């Protein structure tokens, strides 16, 4: 320690008459970390988020789906449970994800080319890659 400041070591802390002492919580806040690039972390997370590309079904797979839809349409009044896997386009970037919904089909809307589920959700038929129903051995 520098000997010329030794006499200041034991003096009380000076108090200003103009400026009151800062509350310890407010004083601590001025040393908290801050992000100079607002939204940067969210942008990095969004860029890193992976999406899937849409699978284009060949003619054979499309015909199989059409046959399954026809079977379900004939039994629509029986309300057979189905599991539909479909492509859901991402709203913010190219691609999307595949989701599976399980439920009962309310109706097939030919003008919209969509399936309406009993819970109100609509699925575009062209987005569907597979349908499983109680007639399939794979349905669980």
Q: What is the pLDDT of residues 21-51, one digit of tens each?
A: 888 888 888 887 777 778 888 888 888 888 8
Report pTM. 0.64
- pLDDT of 124: 93
- The tens digit of pLDDT for each residue in 68-117 reads 888 888 888 888 899 999 999 988 888 899 999 999 999 888 888 999 99
Q: Does domain 59-133 have CATH number 2.30.30?
A: yes
> Do residues 126 and 54 make contact, with C-beta atoms less than 8 angstroms apart?
no
E strand spans, the chain: 81-89, 96-109, 114-117, 122-124, 128-133
């Amino acid at each position: 320690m520098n000997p010329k400041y030794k006499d200041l070591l034991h003096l009380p802390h000076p108090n200003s008459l103009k400026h009151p002492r800062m509350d310890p919580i407010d004083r601590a806040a001025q040393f908290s970390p801050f992000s100079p690039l607002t939204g940067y972390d969210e942008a990095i997370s969004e860029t890193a988020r992976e999406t899937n590309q849409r699978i284009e079904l060949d003619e054979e797979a499309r015909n199989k789906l059409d046959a399954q839809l026809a079977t379900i349409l004939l039994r629509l009044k029986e309300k057979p449970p189905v599991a539909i896997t479909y492509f859901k386009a991402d709203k913010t970037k190219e691609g999307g994800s595949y989701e599976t919904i399980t439920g009962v089909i309310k109706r097939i809307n030919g003008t919209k080319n969509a399936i309406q589920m009993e819970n109100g959700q609509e699925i575009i038929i062209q987005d569907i890659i597979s349908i499983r129903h109680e007639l399939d051995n794979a349905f669980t």
